[in-house]
Amino acid sequence: MRLVAVLLLTGLLALAPASEPGTDAARVLGETLPAAAIWLDSLDLGEMSVGYGRPQGRKSTDENPLRLGGVTYPRGVGSHANSEFAIDLKGVATRFVAMVGVDDEKRGAGSVKFVVVADGRTVAETPVMRGGQPPQLLSVDLTGAQRLVLIIDDADGSIDSDHGDWAGAHFLLQEGATARPEPLRVPVEPPLPIASGDPSEPAIHGPRVVGATPGRPFLHL
C-alpha cells in the first residue's frame, strides 16, 4: 500500500491537461463513475463526526454547492473540522480519490489539514490548507486495505471557518467485487450507573443536619 499521488492544482486551467476521460481529475468533476466504483457521499454520513453542524452530501457545510478554487463539484462531502469518518473497506477498494480544500464559501478564512489513514498507517496527508488556497487532488492506493479513516484536522487549534470538502470523493473497487465499503458504526456506550450508598430496603433515618432557634423548643419528629 502506498500513496500514489498528491497533486497540487492551481485552478481550472491546470486541471484541463489531466482531465481526460477516465482520469482521477476527470472523475472528481463528473457525476458518473465506472461500474466498479462508488461515491463517498453514497455512504451513511451519519457516522461521520464533525466539529460543528453535520456532514453534507453533495453540498458544503453551509448547504451551498461544493466549490474549491472557483470550480463546482457535483459530488462529494462537505464537512467541518475536526472530523473523522471510519470506513470498512472489506478489502475490495483499490483507490480513494478526492479533491480537498477549504470551501470557497469561507472567502479566504479557515485552515485545515486532510489525513487519510489505512489500517492504522497514514497513507496521505496534506500540508495546512487555508481558505483561498488552491485545492489538492488526493489519489491513494488502497489495495489490500481493510479499514480507512478520513480525517479533517483543524490545523491551528481553532475550528472557526474550517469548512473542509472531500469534493468528488470516490472509491475505485476490484472488478467483479460484490461487497461494498460501508461506515464503521461507533458503538454507543451505556451511561454509567450513578453511585449510591443508600440501601435498597426502605428505612427511617435521622436528619444529617439539624438547626434550632434560640429561645424556642427543639423538636425531633
**List of residues 6+ apart from 160 with CB closer than 8 A:** 109, 110
Give the domain extent around 157. Answer: 3-175
Q: Structurally, how many domains does the chain consist of?
A: 1
pLDDT of residue 197: 64
Within a domain: residue 117? Answer: yes
Over 115-143, what HEC string results?
EEEECCEEEEECCCEECCCCCEEEEEECC
pLDDT per residue as tens digits for the range 138-167? 999 999 999 999 999 999 999 999 999 999
Instruction: Read off the pLDDT of each residue in 8-15 and give the average, rounded to a whole number.
Output: 33
Within a domain: residue 221? Answer: no
Which one, of 150, 112, 154, 152, lies nearest residue 133 by Cα? 112
Which one, of 47, 6, 58, lies nearest residue 168 by Cα? 58
Within a domain: residue 89? Answer: yes
Residue 57 Cα distances to 7, 142, 151, angstroms: 24, 23, 16
Average pLDDT over all residues of the chain: 87
Asked if 33 contacts 27 with a C-beta cutoff of 8 angstroms, the reply is yes
pLDDT per residue as tens digits for the range 34-71? 999 999 999 999 999 999 999 999 999 999 999 999 99
Within a domain: residue 49? Answer: yes
What CATH number has the domain bearing residue 145? 2.60.120.1060
